[in-house]
């Protein structure tokens, strides 16, 4: 396979990953990295570096739209980004010192969790009305648009959510994924933020988290422009197509297919890690 053919294959794989990621809400990073490693034989650290660049690009475009529409809570996002950024830098630093086989096994288990998360229903968990002192001090309580008009909500357990965000940031830096599923769980299930606000605020945060860890990968020479560019362009193309198809798609079936694909990749990553093939 020559360079032109390799670039075309990387672009197509990334486009499919971006398409599936846009339809399921988990992003394409959970597919791109294992696909580059298992299908194309790319070194895991270079695959992670390329994925981080694509996460920054796709998050930036979508985040601007969500902020404009009034879904994202900027105050929550800016505060929680402190934890995710510190975790991302630490995770990226650890990645360069961690054996690739260990990274593969960790990635595999995270993929299994992402597969489970993509197939389970997403219930709307609302605040129980209690006021969090830190949330009140930082004025995090807000509202989001609904067909019936603006819906007010309160933010709870800010400290617990902040702690979970540190772990999500570490995974992002260590494995090159946006770790959006963990961010959404922290905001939706722990901080009791409405699901739509959680997903859009998570998208707003993902780009900043990825940028923090991408700087470490860049300084260590793990971001190859020849690999990162087709990955980024492919993910953007797939995400745009996926977003347009979202209204007509049967989300439950797509989530099931996505979950099965990710689960298969996860098992292969774990097996390859334990057997030393990566």
Joined together, the tokens standing for residue 61 give 């475009």
Joined together, the tokens standing for residue 74 give 């900027």
Q: pLDDT band at 247, cuts 50/70/90? A: low
Q: Is the pLDDT of residue 204 over 60?
A: yes
Please, what is the average pLDDT of the chain?
Answer: 80
- Judge residue 229's burial from the number of C-beta atoms within 10 Å of its C-beta, 0-12 exposed, 13-18 middle, 19 or more buried: middle
pLDDT at residue 198, rounded to an integer: 81
Report how far apart, in Å, the C-alpha atoms of 207 and of each of 10, 118, 135, 212 are: 22, 21, 23, 9
Q: Is the pLDDT of residue 130 over 70?
A: no
Q: pLDDT band at 250, cuts 50/70/90? A: low
Domain that holds residue 23: 3-275
Q: Is the pLDDT of residue 126 over 60?
A: no
Among 48-57, 173-182, 234-243, which stretch is predicted with the lowest mean pLDDT?
A: 173-182
pLDDT tens sequence across 15-48: 888 777 666 656 666 778 888 888 888 888 899 8
Q: What is the 3-state secondary structure (H, E, C) of 177-224?
A: CCCHHHHHHHHHHHCCCCHHHHHHHHHHHHHHHHHHHHHHHHHCCCCC
pLDDT at residue 68, rounded to an integer: 78
| C-alpha to C-alpha distance for 160 and 145, rounded to whole angstroms | 26
> What is the pLDDT averaged over residues 152-181?
82
| Total number of domains in the chain | 1
pLDDT at residue 174, rounded to an integer: 79
| C-alpha to C-alpha distance for 51 and 160, rounded to whole angstroms | 29
In terms of average pLDDT, the best of 55-64, 75-84, 90-99, 168-177 is: 75-84
pTM assigned to the model: 0.73
pLDDT tens sequence across 60-80: 666 677 777 788 888 998 999
Give Cβ neighbours of residue 102 (< 8 Å, ≥ 6 apart).
273
Q: Is the pLDDT of residue 176 over 80?
A: no
Residue 142: strand pairing partners: 153
Q: pLDDT band at 229, cuts 50/70/90? A: very high
Give Cβ neighbours of residue 118 (< 8 Å, ≥ 6 apart).
24, 25, 26, 181, 255, 258, 259, 262
Q: Is the pLDDT of residue 246 over 70?
A: no
């Amino acid at each position: 396979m020559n360079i032109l053919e390799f670039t075309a294959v990387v672009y197509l794989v990334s486009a499919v990953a971006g398409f599936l990621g846009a339809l399921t809400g988990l992003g394409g990073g959970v597919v791109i990295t294992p696909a580059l490693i298992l299908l194309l034989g790319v070194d895991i650290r270079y695959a992670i570096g390329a994925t981080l660049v694509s996460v920054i690009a796709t998050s930036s475009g979508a985040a601007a739209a969500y902020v404009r529409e009034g879904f994202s809570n900027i105050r929550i996002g800016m505060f929680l980004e402190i934890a995710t950024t510190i975790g991302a830098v630490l995770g990226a630093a650890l990645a360069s010192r961690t054996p690739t086989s260990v990274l593969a096994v960790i990635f595999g288990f995270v993929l299994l969790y992402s597969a489970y998360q993509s197939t389970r229903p997403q219930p709307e968990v609302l605040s129980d009305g209690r006021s969090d002192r830190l949330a009140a001090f930082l004025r995090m309580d807000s509202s989001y648009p609904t067909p019936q008009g603006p819906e007010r909500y309160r933010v709870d357990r800010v400290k617990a959510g902040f702690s979970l965000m540190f772990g999500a940031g570490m995974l992002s830096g260590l494995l090159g994924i946006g770790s959006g599923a963990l961010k959404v769980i922290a905001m939706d299930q722990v901080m009791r933020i409405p699901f739509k606000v959680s997903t859009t605020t998570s998208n707003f945060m993902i780009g900043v988290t990825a940028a923090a860890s991408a700087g470490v990968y860049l300084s260590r020479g793990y971001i190859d422009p020849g690999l990162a560019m087709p990955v980024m362009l492919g993910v953007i193309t797939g995400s745009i197509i996926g977003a347009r198809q979202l209204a007509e798609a049967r989300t439950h079936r797509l989530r099931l297919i996505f979950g099965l694909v990710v689960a298969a990749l996860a098992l292969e990553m774990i097996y390859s890690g334990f057997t030393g093939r990566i």
